[in-house]
Amino acid sequence: MRAGPYSVTVTVPARIHLGFLDLNGELGRRFGSIGLAITGLRTRVTVSRARRAQIVGPEQERIRRYVERLQAFLEFDGPLSIRLDEAVPPHAGLGSGTQLALALAAAVRELNGLPLDTRGDAYRLGRGRRSGIGIALFDSGGVVVDGGRAAESRAAPVVSRIPFPENWRILLVLDPARSGVHGEDESAAFARLSPLPGEQAGRICRLVLMQALPALVEADLPAFAAAIKEMQQLLGAHFAPWQGGHAFMSRDVEAALALLEGEGALGIGQSSWGPTGFAFAPSQAEAERLVAFARRHPRCRGLDIRICQGLNRGAQIAAGTVAAVTNL
């Protein structure tokens, strides 16, 4: 193991999970998903060589578990100082756990002069068991489709990566008072959910392959958004038993998205288990108009509504060449 730099900072964008492709699995692969990297929310962690181990910032217990696993299979020596400067809200449907795990793995590898292994580290750290988009977006950004997991798959293979149009905007609706299904509850939900009927899974796959992806290439927002909305409706009905009988985890987010759609927003849906919702707008000006309207409405009080762009690059890894001032 060759010597690396004194400190490494990794910055990873949040992601929106636009939906699963095949919750049926009769073809031998299950899940499959489509998602995109976004600006505005990110995880930023700095790992430094230190005199004694320390963790500064939120998510300390989760960071400690990941570092212990990394140390076990990478066999690096010496204490680390870890500082989490920014973090995507946990359990909001924005991929915070995968981002943090992969950011730490990339930083530790760079610090110790080891090559990146995004897919391998995700598997070793218990990420990407269902969706592979968080792993793929760490490397590339943009809009990614993964082909689902077979029984022997470590991570779902990427089958498509397309840049998100620069002028389109994403309206993000966060509910700080709610959390999405996660951890053991999420595993239980997937274990108890009945398979999605093959006809519906086939419809979703057709929407993605024959409508959403071509529309991205041709920058046709109405067609892209219509495909996303229909697949979200199918999936929302399927997951409703674990969301209080509703297509959205947060009724406030659901109401806000209905208001935005009534004003012209397109492609409303929920990212993963939520509670975060999303919609699309064709331009910055239109996005600003829609967000201003929503923020004035009494039904949207308590929600965090913001404008994001698609991000067509992956994580950024910056190595420090001077000794980090830690544990002094």
pLDDT score at 328:
28
Question: At the top level of CATH, which class does the domain 165-309 belong to?
Answer: alpha beta
Three-state secondary structure call for residue 235: helix
pLDDT score at 100:
95
For the chain, give the percent of residues with pLDDT over 90. Answer: 76
pTM: 0.91
pLDDT value at 224 more than 80: yes
Instruction: Examine domains 1-164+313-328 and 165-309 and report if their fold is the same.
Output: no
> What gap in Å lies between CA 35 and CA 137, rounded to an integer?
8
Q: Indicate the pLDDT class of residue 242, thresholds 50, 70 and 90.
A: confident
pLDDT score at 149:
86
Domain boundaries, the chain: 1-164+313-328, 165-309
For the chain, give the percent of residues with pLDDT over 70. Answer: 94
Q: Indicate the pLDDT class of residue 188, thresholds 50, 70 and 90.
A: confident
> What gap in Å lies between CA 20 and CA 137, rounded to an integer?
16
> Which is it for strands 31-49 and 7-22: parallel, antiparallel or unpaired?
antiparallel
Question: CB-based contacts of 304: which residues, under 8 Å, 6+ apart?
Answer: 172, 173, 174, 175, 176
Report yes or no: 60 and 24 within 8 Å, Cβ to Cβ.
Answer: no
φ, ψ for residue 116, nearest 5 deg: -65, 150
- CB neighbour class for 38 (10 Å; exposed up to 12, middle 13-18, buried from 19): buried
End-to-end CA distance of the chain: 27
Average pLDDT for residues 51-58, to the nearest whole number?
92
Q: Tell me the CATH architecture of domain 1-164+313-328.
A: 2-Layer Sandwich (3.30)
Three-state secondary structure call for residue 265: coil
Question: CB-based contacts of 27: which residues, under 8 Å, 6+ apart?
Answer: none
Q: What is the pLDDT of residues 11-28, one digit of tens each?
A: 999 999 999 999 998 999
Which region holds residue 223: left if phi is over 0, alpha if psi is between -120 and 50, else beta? alpha
Q: Across the chain, what does the average pLDDT equal?
A: 91
Average pLDDT for residues 230-256, to the nearest whole number?
93
Q: What is the pLDDT of residues 153-182, one digit of tens each?
A: 778 899 999 999 999 999 999 999 987 666
Q: Could you tell me which residues are beta bridge partners of residue 173?
A: 277, 305
pLDDT value at 4 more than 70: no
* Token representation of residue 297: 């409405």
Quick one: CA torsion of 323, 52, 87, 146, rounded to 10 degrees? 90
